[in-house]
Amino acid sequence: MVMEKFIGTWVEEGKEGFEEFASALNLSQEKRQMYNTKTRLQYSKDGNSWFLTVGVEGASQERTYNFTPGQEYAAADIDGSSMTSLINIEDDKFVEKHTFSSLAGAEMAITREVKGDYMTVTSNVGGNVLVTRYKRV
């Protein structure tokens, strides 16, 4: 399956649009500092189940999400905020919808696309866009 191109470890190379995005989410200064550091992603798969581990550079916490494409699941963001998520596969991309209870039900749309050894993650909240680029290690 073509989605196996996501499997592996990815390190953030940079992001664009962070301040506007953080403002749209009304993030506190503490959360802005945490989220404005580099992240590391690791994808793995077992049968139909996918696992995504997210870590933040310089922080001991990381969180692993277990999802099956097309099935909604409850989870918590890296900062512990509860959310409901749905991840689908569309045109060889992961297309995600996350609804955060801590943000009055705000919805975030995320598209993850891999080309070679690079992944582009485009996040959108209310028209505010954050683009994050990763390189496979």
pLDDT band at 12 (very low <50, low <70, confident <90, very high): very high
Are 96 and 85 spatial neighbours (Cβ–Cβ below 8 Å)?
Answer: yes
pTM of the model: 0.89
> How do the domains of the chain map onto residue ranges?
2-136
Residue, of 126 and 91, whose pLDDT is higher: 91
Tens digit of each residue's pLDDT (9 = 90 or more) over 99-117: 987 666 678 999 999 999 9
The β-bridge partners of 56 are: 39
The β-bridge partners of 135 are: 11, 118
Residues 6+ apart with CB under 8 A from 18: 35, 36, 130
Tens digit of each residue's pLDDT (9 = 90 or more) over 55-104: 888 777 788 999 999 999 998 876 677 889 999 999 999 999 999 876 66
Rounded Cα–Cα distance for residues 23 and 20 (Å): 5
Q: Considering the domain 2-136 in this protein, what is its CATH number?
A: 2.40.128.20
